[in-house]
Structure 1
């Protein structure tokens, strides 16, 4: 076994790898950018090395700086985690050239399976069924569009060089192909440095099921069962579980053998995942989609149902050990479900359409633990969450003897999750897990989008404003020993007049201000506030102007209409286009004076590797344009103003 391993990653996966290194008695080396100087993975490692400024291209993606860090600390091996350089064949080769062991598959396997076009051809030759689609690499826009029309709409555009849903586009209308191809290429280039695309037939109501494989360097390849990953939003997984309720033993064995053959076809070594798509109308049919040549985000659920530490066996295989297991040794016991907690929020005024990346400082943190609950996290109180890296903050995983128990435990764990200061999707995930279709196991990759409007808030609950007003009322009360002047108590009592409770002007960002007084009873402490409204008691966690409950969080600010007017922070009006999230403007399609139509795409803002298209709210003329490509913008910053056309007559 290695004595020192460098972890070439950050966040929750770096913390998770360090945990296994510590258990094995292996010295861990963390790397960090300037943005992560005080991050949790830096604190928990035995040694930490600065590798550059905040942008990933100058730090976490710099092969030269990572190799220098390994040399300086005496590391003998490098664990790439996932994301960044985990599936970069050039990095694997550079590690070998530097005398380091890359804890992952051979560079040749990464290169082969990292090219989705070559991967499909290779596994097809090994007898693995594949999704019908385009053939050949380097297809131009017109060739891709022609292939899509030949396959038949709808189709799925996919980057050849990467996964995780980045750059993936479902296209249902042929006349939108060229625009969607251009957008998919932009995202693929930004995420993977390669804009090569392929097109595949869209399978209606598909289920996404993947098989975990484990291979040593001595010719043994086994699979560790499947994971159901059908609960997705924008082609990115949000909930995963193991095993799948869909598969019977015969189908599980067949898919497992197909995954083993896919691994053998590329000379695989280490932990990897073979992903399949299953038609909703034919659960016994399955098609190879791609192979992820790394540890998966959702690997904990496989660990829980098999009892095998995948990171440990990545290390042991990389050190040359033989797998002690045969396929007959693998048993799936119980059920495990994982939820990905991400820095993102739903704008109440926009509903499901406003699901966007967020950021901020973690002011208060509470992460669930307990019977059957595991949290993999990279957070601490004080962590700054920006727009430079992936939005996933942590994973909450629940295990139980059966699926119903695991689901209940995960819902309770998400309700107990507190991340004040950074909006997250924890409340949304809790509601999703309670949806009847999820509870019954009737899943497909489009389910989340279809039921989204049932899972997002349509208004700020009245008890949130009640709690915010209670906090402000308590702040006005005199404190300290001695006599209290009754006229200084904010009771709302008036001499010779009616009782008027103290009213507070409040505002949730993105919404119109409200004025609220305290109507019920309340109790306020430094970190909690409880209010009783209409006979129901509601308890919130609090930090600063943030309130949190059952995985949801709201920032309720004081509102000064005069100050807002003077600073331009008041509501900007229907003609103004504002940034829906902090990020960077990547595309500007118009100039001042241009005529635009309602719904026309004008700008693209990118944050955390996600694109958001800004469209014209109505027909008109571009009266103001305050940004260019490359401009960094804050949330709610005005980007452009569209003056409406005057009505004729």
Structure 2
């Protein structure tokens, strides 16, 4: 691993390039010719390789186009960040055939984790609790499973990614609408031909993500837990750590089950195992075998915390992981660099839980200014920002790379605001001050919804 293709864009691509530079690794940025915002992540890398096409499926998320870029750029490793390519087993198989290192799990592990049905069955076999579930295609087959299971249910495309097309069905009419819906409703595939994963719905629930790192010897490094505080349109707009309202013994059991799942699946990487917690017990939901979007929350709970500074973190690395070199930037709270941890695991280094404990007395909240789906009708041409200003708030750092002077293309998220403090309420007040003080016009991005929800936490 000497020359890395960064197969992503925006803030995570900038962060990866800076981390690689700190390790003495050469980098090549992937850039779609139609991406008007590519300048930031291209400038952060040593080289650039362009791809044709238009839209994520035909550029950054296209296994064929990115494999061609691998061949043209002569890299010996690929870093995917947290895009859908990070969980694309066919893409990873193509890298394995070429002898190119993938900074993430193997193709075989991703195939298992990528099927919601296969993943649930694998979890059940090793004694991890799962909800009643089934898979089916077409109206009649799906309805037969729903009748056997009982309403309400959750319907998900079996191989969906990132919460696409997840529907709660409370009536048979809801089920029929989902199964007969538009291609967009099925995550970009024809709804009628989609394999649906049907899962019993828990009306009172809490979604908890357990993040961990696993090396090639099966050693596990816990990286903390977080919960979703606000979800809209399938997007996690606000997350918090540590988890509130769940018994400590239950959390410890989920950590143990997350490690079991990761080992059983053969996953090696930084990843998240998601559980849903009901009134009486918890259940396995799915595995995301990639860097979580909330990776900076985990980083801020590792190492010795000395307080966050206000600033723009467009990906800069900070702090140290076991055996890694330390560094600093102008905005990231001290802690572990999980991108560096991924790179070290990929080249065969070990992790040690004892060397880097999680400080769960440090409370973190992260708000995400996702572009509202109504703004994405002409995607990848998202639109233009009339104004885009984020306030300097002591204790808040941002991940962003949008240039408001250029047309906005390919952007699904404009910024992430992270704060850490000694209590959730204190961290929530900081994030609320940042989001409420943001001046974003021209594109809608959930500012009001996040602010209202933060009022409940302050």
TM-score range for the pair, normalised by the shorter chain length: 0.7 to 0.9
Aligned positions of 1:138-287 closer than 5 A? 139-183=137-181, 187-188=185-186, 190=188, 195-279=194-278, 281-282=279-280, 285-287=281-283
Cα gap change, 1:192/1:123 in structure 2, threshold over 3 Å: closer, same or farther?
farther
Aligned counterparts of 1:196 and 1:330: Cα–Cα separation in 2 = 39
Q: Report the alpha carbon displacement of residue 84 of structure 1 after superposing the two structures with TM.
A: 3.2
Counterpart of 1:367 in structure 2 is 390
Cα gap change, 1:231/1:38 in structure 2, threshold over 3 Å: closer, same or farther?
closer
Q: Report the alpha carbon displacement of residue 226 of structure 1 after superposing the two structures with TM.
A: 0.9
2:368 to 330, 333, 340: 340
Aligned counterparts of 1:431 and 1:357: Cα–Cα separation in 2 = 29
Q: What is the TM-score normalised by the length of structure 2? A: 0.85
Cα gap change, 1:83/1:192 in structure 2, threshold over 3 Å: closer, same or farther?
farther
For residues 366-417 of structure 1, the C-alpha deviation after alignment (integer angstroms, 9 at most, x for no partner) is: 234553211111311223224xx46222211111122121111101111232
Cα gap change, 1:22/1:415 in structure 2, threshold over 3 Å: closer, same or farther?
farther
Aligned positions of 1:634-645 closer than 5 A? none
Residue 311 in structure 1 maps to residue 349 in structure 2: no
Cα gap change, 1:312/1:215 in structure 2, threshold over 3 Å: closer, same or farther?
same
Aligned counterparts of 1:112 and 1:19: Cα–Cα separation in 2 = 32
For residues 3-53 of structure 1, the C-alpha deviation after alignment (integer angstroms, 9 at most, x for no partner) is: 321111122322232232233332222111122155222232222221113
Q: Report the alpha carbon displacement of residue 95 of structure 1 after superposing the two structures with TM.
A: 1.1
Q: Secondary structure at the match of 1:167?
A: coil
Aligned counterparts of 1:220 and 1:330: Cα–Cα separation in 2 = 16
Q: Is the 8 A contact 1:161 1:192 kept in 2?
A: no
Cα gap change, 1:4/1:381 in structure 2, threshold over 3 Å: closer, same or farther?
same
Cα gap change, 1:12/1:98 in structure 2, threshold over 3 Å: closer, same or farther?
same
Residue 398 in structure 1 maps to residue 405 in structure 2: no
For residues 119-150 of structure 1, the C-alpha deviation after alignment (integer angstroms, 9 at most, x for no partner) is: 0110111110001122xx55443111111111
Counterpart of 1:463 in structure 2 is none
Cα gap change, 1:185/1:332 in structure 2, threshold over 3 Å: closer, same or farther?
same
Q: Secondary structure at the match of 2:350?
A: coil
Residue 384 in structure 1 maps to residue 414 in structure 2: no
Aligned counterparts of 1:91 and 1:57: Cα–Cα separation in 2 = 13
Deviates more, 1:48-57 or 1:37-46: 37-46
Cα gap change, 1:250/1:176 in structure 2, threshold over 3 Å: closer, same or farther?
closer
Counterpart of 2:45 in structure 1 is 45
Residue 433 in structure 1 maps to residue 454 in structure 2: yes
Q: What is the TM-score normalised by the length of structure 1? A: 0.61
Aligned counterparts of 1:416 and 1:345: Cα–Cα separation in 2 = 23
Q: Is the 8 A contact 1:208 1:275 kept in 2?
A: yes
Counterpart of 1:92 in structure 2 is 92
Aligned counterparts of 1:172 and 1:211: Cα–Cα separation in 2 = 29
Residue 416 in structure 1 maps to residue 414 in structure 2: no
Q: Secondary structure at the match of 2:181?
A: helix
Q: Secondary structure at the match of 1:359?
A: strand
Deviates more, 1:19-28 or 1:266-275: 19-28
Q: Report the alpha carbon displacement of residue 217 of structure 1 after superposing the two structures with TM.
A: 0.7
The structure number with the bigger radius of gyration is 1
Q: Report the alpha carbon displacement of residue 429 of structure 1 after superposing the two structures with TM.
A: 1.4
Q: Report the alpha carbon displacement of residue 82 of structure 1 after superposing the two structures with TM.
A: 2.0
Q: Is the 8 A contact 2:137 2:194 kept in 1?
A: no
Aligned counterparts of 1:390 and 1:173: Cα–Cα separation in 2 = 35
Aligned counterparts of 2:122 and 2:263: Cα–Cα separation in 1 = 10
Cα gap change, 1:262/1:75 in structure 2, threshold over 3 Å: closer, same or farther?
same
Cα gap change, 1:175/1:430 in structure 2, threshold over 3 Å: closer, same or farther?
closer
Q: Is the 8 A contact 2:221 2:352 kept in 1?
A: no
1:296 to 292, 297, 303: 292
For residues 515-544 of structure 1, the C-alpha deviation after alignment (integer angstroms, 9 at most, x for no partner) is: xxxxxxxxxxxxxxxxxxxxxxxxxxxxxx
Q: Report the alpha carbon displacement of residue 200 of structure 1 after superposing the two structures with TM.
A: 0.9
For residues 555-587 of structure 1, the C-alpha deviation after alignment (integer angstroms, 9 at most, x for no partner) is: xxxxxxxxxxxxxxxxxxxxxxxxxxxxxxxxx
Aligned counterparts of 1:345 and 1:358: Cα–Cα separation in 2 = 13
Q: Secondary structure at the match of 2:5?
A: strand
* Cα RMSD for the two superposed structures: 2.6
Q: Secondary structure at the match of 1:32?
A: strand
Q: Is the 8 A contact 2:216 2:345 kept in 1?
A: yes
Aligned counterparts of 1:206 and 1:313: Cα–Cα separation in 2 = 32
Counterpart of 1:126 in structure 2 is 126
Q: Is the 8 A contact 2:209 2:226 kept in 1?
A: yes
Q: Report the alpha carbon displacement of residue 62 of structure 1 after superposing the two structures with TM.
A: 3.0
Aligned counterparts of 1:259 and 1:115: Cα–Cα separation in 2 = 17
Q: Is the 8 A contact 2:389 2:439 kept in 1?
A: yes
Q: Is the 8 A contact 2:32 2:51 kept in 1?
A: yes
Counterpart of 1:112 in structure 2 is 112
Q: Report the alpha carbon displacement of residue 199 of structure 1 after superposing the two structures with TM.
A: 0.7
Aligned positions of 1:6-85 closer than 5 A? 6-39=5-38, 40-85=40-85
Aligned counterparts of 2:158 and 2:387: Cα–Cα separation in 1 = 40
Q: Secondary structure at the match of 2:414?
A: strand
